[in-house]
Structure 1
């Protein structure tokens, strides 16, 4: 029997106990073994935002207080996408016991890895808040656009995660492939550099803007720092949502029923 991606996501959202509470319990249990606890989850954002951000600001001749929030926001939201997709590749295999027991709504496992990435993002909020408070470019009005922009990012993660999860259940190498692609994409995402360094009309700018993560990061960060969002970003993300969800629905309907056999 074929499964519906939209119906399964709706069912998962109506019953969040498994993928929210269980994920939070997993993280708390994991870090409880350490004396510093959740501080270890907080530390990478602190180091990247103020450590790496300060270093690359000096390296490129930018004002540190201007570049640090650029770096911090870019890193945090890039990590939200990459953690979700890299762990989605092993989501089904990692929950094989649940699937073999008859819990075949795969969106529960996809949302579990997305929830984990979101918790890490929430833990980075104090760091980003300090960086923005110190920034001369911070635009408070951008906070009004933060939730809609984040929903666009999560909507794209949802369809990409569904494809990666189903393919990853059949082909274990998909997880390694996705990880390699995301590592390569980091260099073409404006995190260590700024988008205005390579304008859209240039060859390098055109190559960078083929990268979906370029637009997923910019849609969230640009309003907060008073930077314009390119028209290409709106068009790119709209096409991604339409084409991506159509592809994910087809893949899920065709192959999700085979996942219990594959795992």
Structure 2
């Protein structure tokens, strides 16, 4: 039987395949473009300074103050959503490798994560500019955010593993999850601020059921000097523990059927 943690450990010790192939996917995609990999930053620029300006004016806020909120929220949301959505078709897209005998399936999930991290790193200059203009950046909060960021990745990775296995069996899952994330973008505090929906309100309670709410806030709130709700840390810790147990059970039971499904 397949063991998730054994396969994942082996994949992490041997990153040559998944890290390089993730980067090559990006290079091949943009190699014929005049602007090249500059296009990696284009979505962040459009969302932060384009959409950010629009929603800042709607809420009577300065774009200088709102840009930092938008930049951190968008880049984190994009990282998580890219991994989850692309994981649903990770095994199907790698069918030729799997059928050729490459059966360590965690390589293909890490390949998706690597691509998303490359996009995330490419967006960092946009985030840095937004933070440079923001007057309330907390450097001690930045240290906390760096420590909490692995918790976001841990939760993202187990969801990716789980959805990769389910997506191999039900190949319409990618369309469904893509539509869900369109709604999740509005339910996550990216174009609005968390304090506009207090925890004791109905809307605030509903918003806090959204895992992306906490995955964004645990990194962004400390950097911007905003209070971090204790609920967020409990939510993510419990989610990580329960999620990895679930992912390990599903992977152990169904990973061996993936070559048949695809």
TM-score by length of structure 1 reads 0.98
1:84 and 2:91 matched: no
1:238 counterpart residue number: 237
Deviation digits for residues 3-43 of structure 1, max 9, x if unmatched?
01111110110000111112112211221110110111111
Question: Which secondary structure does the structure 2 equivalent of 1:141 belong to?
Answer: helix
1:38 and 2:40 matched: no
2:11 counterpart residue number: 12
Question: Which secondary structure does the structure 2 equivalent of 1:104 belong to?
Answer: coil
What is the rounded CA distance, in whole Å, between the counterparts of 2:127 and 2:63 in structure 1? 14
Q: CA deviation at 1:223?
A: 0.9
Q: CA deviation at 1:185?
A: 1.1
What is the rounded CA distance, in whole Å, between the counterparts of 1:89 and 1:129 in structure 2? 31
1:172 counterpart residue number: 171
Deviation digits for residues 58-106 of structure 1, max 9, x if unmatched?
1101122111110111010000000001000000000001111111111
Question: Which secondary structure does the structure 1 equivalent of 2:192 belong to?
Answer: coil
Q: How does 1:25-104 map to 2 (within 5 A)?
A: 25-104=24-103
What is the rounded CA distance, in whole Å, between the counterparts of 1:7 and 1:254 in structure 2? 15
1:228 and 2:221 matched: no
Structure 1 unaligned spans of 5+:
none
How many residue pairs end up in the alignment?
A: 262
What is the rounded CA distance, in whole Å, between the counterparts of 1:202 and 1:4 in structure 2? 43
Q: CA deviation at 1:148?
A: 1.8
1:262 counterpart residue number: 261
Deviation digits for residues 225-251 of structure 1, max 9, x if unmatched?
001110110111111011111110110
Deviation digits for residues 158-184 of structure 1, max 9, x if unmatched?
110011000000000111121122111
Alignment RMSD:
0.9
Deviation digits for residues 92-129 of structure 1, max 9, x if unmatched?
00000111111111110001011101000000010000
2:124 counterpart residue number: 125
Q: How does 1:68-217 map to 2 (within 5 A)?
A: 68-217=67-216
1:23 and 2:22 matched: yes
Deviation digits for residues 205-260 of structure 1, max 9, x if unmatched?
00000000000000111111001110110111111011111110110001001001
What is the rounded CA distance, in whole Å, between the counterparts of 1:71 and 1:210 in structure 2? 21
What is the rounded CA distance, in whole Å, between the counterparts of 1:47 and 1:93 in structure 2? 31
Q: Runs (4+) of structure 1 moved beyond 3 Å? A: none
What is the rounded CA distance, in whole Å, between the counterparts of 1:149 and 1:48 in structure 2? 24
What is the rounded CA distance, in whole Å, between the counterparts of 2:138 and 2:57 in structure 1? 23
TM-score by length of structure 2 reads 0.98
Structure 2 unaligned spans of 5+:
none
Question: Which secondary structure does the structure 2 equivalent of 1:200 belong to?
Answer: coil
